[in-house]
């Protein structure tokens, strides 16, 4: 019930539109209810008296009622569609905004396809249950109430017999809702996994083809599709048993009207017009009851989807601004790790009593084996995560006290796998600084050794580069990323394995661009290839979250320690 109430708040953002939609729906229901009463009057007063002129008048009245009802219904559908799209937009926008505010840890623990399924499919399911449930449910209840009044005014005993099955139907509805919600939650979760698998196959299509994994992925997709089918059929079979029981019990009321009502007509206790009206009303009475039962089924599915939506909306935002945040400190900027302890959720510690200073205007390189904690150091500076103990400071300011937007806007990142949007070269560069001029853009491209290849593109800066920059080589994407950082001109730069995914020639081109980028900035370089950090002002060797040694390249080679061993191994200087 809490989910229904929370989702209903989205309707109440548009009270007048909702009221108008509901009012028109009620109006169409009232007009529909009036038709059998008009038919009764025509049969008893005009047909029985064989007054053909009045019969035509009565038929004309019915036609006017139907025309007016459909006009109201036309306006209702239009307003309903407008309200539906407004609610969908609001709910999706809130969900999207929350996703952008969630910590990196949220996405580390979830499949991207499942998250997308919550934003697209589950929101639609929730909205459908909410709007249809509220509007159609209200109209159905009003219709049942109105018809019941008409039935009792015509023949109370027969009306009472018609209503006998209704309590049984509501008991069945309650039991069905109680057990089917779990089934529909399983369906939504399975659908999310299927979406995740599809997204994974689309993103990894080149790998699938190069490793000849088509058959394997086909079987995986089929298995997950079969799982979704199995869970959907389980929910639908439960519904089929439920709806069949509902329809059979409802038919008892119709049987009572035909049998007992017919006997009353013979005994002249009921007019033929009343008998016909009773039969029409009986059909009309059970129609909204069927509708309520269908809505009950829909709401169960909607509540299951709503749980998935609100799991995201209710997820805590661990990384937030402090009560009184300050701006990024004025350059030059040094970075200090002061007795830092850190571990990811449910995992062993990554950094232990970690102490390090990145001097302002200098290049500090972090090297070590995979899992040593190198990327974690960058994540803590960017405040993608918060330390478990100790502090990370920029000059003398704890990063937790710096306004998040200010912090991240002053740090440039060049990652191993550069991300580019499906847009033009210009659009991707202007993400760094929207007001950048044409001259500044080309200066940044020149500095990143990217100007020549951009000029060779079909439309230059206006060239669409595809999803994740798929129309560019890895080296070209990396140089565009460097140009984007140059355009931002941040005082602090993080290079996270920036050349590890390219060949030697491309690495040289990127390294030239990086040499331009690091000038007069505080730089953190994370690298596996020691050749890329040889000229760093300070090299720090990290192992299992601790610093083994640090110094310049020459100092560390002379010390003949861990770094020296790594260097000999990578340059194949180990004696045979």
Sheet containing 335-343, strands listed edge to edge, beginning at the edge strand earlier in sequence: 349-358, 335-343, 389-394, 397-398
Neighbours of 297 (CB within 10 A): 22
- Most confident of the ranges 310-314, 402-406, 419-423: 402-406
Three-state DSSP class for residue 348: coil
Confidence of residue 203 (pLDDT cuts 50, 70, 90): low
Neighbours of 455 (CB within 10 A): 11
C-alpha span between 174 and 181 (Å, rounded): 11
Contacts of 259 (CB under 8 A, 6+ apart): none
Query: Is a pLDDT exceeding 50 seen at residue 256?
Result: yes
CA nearest to 293, candidates 242, 232, 237, 254? 242
- Most confident of the ranges 49-58, 144-153, 160-169, 171-180: 144-153
Query: Is a pLDDT exceeding 70 seen at residue 501?
Result: no
What pLDDT score does 477 carry?
87
Quick check: 465 and 420 in contact, CB under 8 A? Answer: yes
Helix axes 2-11, 123-154, angle to 10 degrees: 90
Query: Which tens digits make up the pLDDT trace of 374-412?
Result: 888 988 998 988 888 999 999 989 999 999 888 888 888
Question: Which stretches of 257-271 are DSSP H helices?
Answer: 262-266
| Radius of gyration of the chain measured on its C-alpha atoms | 35
What pLDDT score does 391 carry?
92
Residue found by looking up tokens 């509220």 in the block? 134
C-alpha span between 155 and 8 (Å, rounded): 39
Residue 392, H or E segment: strand 389-394
432-445 core/surface letters (b: 16 or more CB in 10 A; e: else):
bbeebeeeebbbbb
What pLDDT score does 401 carry?
92
CA nearest to 529, candidates 505, 507, 558, 550? 507
Calculate what percentage of the chain has a pLDDT beyond 90.
7
Domain ranges within the chain, ordered by starting residue = 2-313, 335-570
Query: Is a pLDDT exceeding 80 seen at residue 420?
Result: yes
Confidence of residue 521 (pLDDT cuts 50, 70, 90): confident
Confidence of residue 574 (pLDDT cuts 50, 70, 90): very low
Residue found by looking up tokens 């790790």 in the block? 337
Backbone CA torsion sign across 178, 181, 186, 189: negative
Residue 364, H or E segment: strand 363-367
The CATH number of domain 2-313 is 1.20.1560.10: yes
Query: Is a pLDDT exceeding 80 seen at residue 206?
Result: no
Residue 411, H or E segment: strand 411-414
Quick check: 508 and 478 in contact, CB under 8 A? Answer: no
Which of 94-98, 227-231, 288-292, 488-492 has the least mean pLDDT?
A: 288-292
Query: Which tens digits make up the pLDDT trace of 331-342?
Result: 888 999 999 998
C-alpha span between 306 and 298 (Å, rounded): 12
Three-state DSSP class for residue 323: coil
Query: Is a pLDDT exceeding 70 seen at residue 50?
Result: yes
DSSP string, 471-517: TS-HHHHHHHHHHHHHHH--SEEEEESTTTTS-HHHHHHHHHHHHHH
Instruction: Report, as an integer, the average pLDDT of 505-521.
Output: 70
Query: Is a pLDDT exceeding 70 seen at residue 258?
Result: yes
Query: Is a pLDDT exceeding 70 seen at residue 232?
Result: yes
C-alpha span between 281 and 254 (Å, rounded): 10
C-alpha span between 525 and 352 (Å, rounded): 20
> Which CATH fold would you assign to the domain 335-570?
Rossmann fold (3.40.50)
Quick check: 493 and 516 in contact, CB under 8 A? Answer: no
CA nearest to 76, candidates 2, 141, 131? 131
Instruction: Report, as an integer, the average pLDDT of 521-528.
Output: 86
Query: Which tens digits make up the pLDDT trace of 6-33?
Result: 777 888 888 898 889 888 888 888 888 8
Q: Report the phi/psi class of residue 50: left, alpha or beta, with left for phi > 0 and alpha for psi in -120 to 50.
A: left
Contacts of 566 (CB under 8 A, 6+ apart): 367, 530, 541
Strand 349-358 vs strand 335-343: parallel, antiparallel, or unpaired?
A: antiparallel
What pLDDT score does 576 carry?
42
What pLDDT score does 100 carry?
79
Which of 66-80, 292-306, 455-469, 472-486 has the least mean pLDDT?
A: 292-306
Beta bridge partners of 337: 356, 392
What pLDDT score does 465 carry?
86
Confidence of residue 247 (pLDDT cuts 50, 70, 90): confident
Question: For residue 97, which phi and psi values (nearest 5 degrees)?
Answer: -60, -40
| pTM for the whole structure | 0.69
């Amino acid at each position: 019930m809490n989910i229904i109430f929370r989702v209903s708040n989205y309707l109440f953002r548009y009270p007048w539109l909702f009221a108008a939609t509901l009012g028109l729906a009620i109006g169409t229901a009232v007009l529909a209810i009036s038709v059998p009463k008009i038919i009764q009057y025509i049969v008893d007063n005009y047909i029985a008296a064989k007054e053909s002129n009045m019969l035509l008048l009565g038929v004309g009245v019915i036609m006017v009622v139907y025309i007016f009802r459909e006009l109201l219904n036309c306006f209702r559908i239009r307003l309903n569609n407008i309200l539906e799209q407004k609610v969908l937009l609001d709910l999706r926008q809130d969900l999207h905004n929350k996703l952008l505010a969630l910590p990196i840890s949220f996405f580390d623990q979830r499949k991207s396809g499942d998250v997308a399924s919550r934003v697209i499919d589950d929101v639609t399911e929730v909205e459908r249950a909410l709007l249809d449930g509220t509007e159609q449910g209200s109209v159905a209840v009003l219709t049942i109430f109105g018809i019941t009044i008409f039935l009792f005014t015509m023949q109370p005993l027969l009306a009472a017999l018609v209503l006998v099955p209704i309590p049984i139907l509501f008991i069945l509805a309650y039991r069905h809702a109680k057990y089917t919600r779990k089934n529909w939650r399983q369906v939504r979760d399975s659908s999310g996994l299927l979406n995740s698998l599809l997204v994974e196959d689309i993103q990894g299509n080149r790998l699938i083809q190069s490793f000849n994994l088509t058959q394997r992925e086909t079987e995986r997709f089929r298995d997950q599709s079969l799982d979704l089918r199995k869970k959907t059929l389980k929910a639908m079979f439960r519904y089929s048993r439920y709806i069949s029981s509902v329809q059979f019990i409802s038919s008892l009321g119709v049987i009572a009207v035909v049998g007992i009502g017919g006997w009353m007509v013979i005994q002249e206790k009921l007019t033929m017009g009343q008998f016909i009206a009773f039969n029409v009303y009986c059909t009309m009475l059970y129609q909204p009851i069927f509708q309520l039962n269908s809505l009950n089924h829909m709401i169960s599915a909607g509540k299951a989807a709503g749980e998935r939506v609100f799991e995201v909306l209710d997820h805590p935002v661990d990384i937030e601004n402090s009560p009184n945040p300050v701006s990024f400190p004025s350059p030059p900027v040094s970075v200090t790790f002061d007795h830092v302890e850190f571990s990811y959720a449910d995992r062993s510690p990554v950094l232990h009593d970690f102490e390090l200073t990145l001097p302002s205007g200098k290049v500090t390189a972090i090297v070590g084996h995979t899992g040593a904690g190198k990327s974690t150091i960058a994540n803590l500076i960017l405040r993608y995560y918060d330390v478990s103990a100790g502090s990370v400071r920029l000059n003398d300011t704890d990063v937790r006290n710096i306004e998040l937007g200010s912090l991240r806007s002053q740090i440039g990142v060049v990652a191993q796998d550069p991300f580019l949007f499906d847009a033009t070269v210009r659009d991707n560069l202007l993400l760094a600084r929207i007001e950048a001029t044409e001259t500044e853009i080309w200066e940044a491209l020149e500095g990143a050794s990217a100007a020549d290849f951009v000029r060779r593109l079909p439309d230059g800066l206006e060239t669409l580069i595809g999803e994740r920059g798929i129309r560019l080589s890895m080296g070209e994407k990396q140089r565009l990323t460097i140009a984007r950082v140059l355009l931002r001109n941040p005082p602090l730069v993080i290079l996270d394995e920036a050349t590890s995914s390219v060949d030697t020639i491309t690495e040289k081109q990127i390294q030239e661009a990086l040499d331009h980028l690091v000038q007069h900035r505080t730089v953190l370089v994370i690298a596996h290839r020691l050749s890329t950090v040889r000229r760093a002002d300070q090299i720090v060797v990290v192992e299992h979250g601790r610093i083994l040694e640090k110094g310049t390249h020459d100092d560390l080679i002379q010390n003949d320690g861990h770094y020296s061993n790594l260097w000999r191994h990578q340059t194949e200087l180990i004696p045979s």
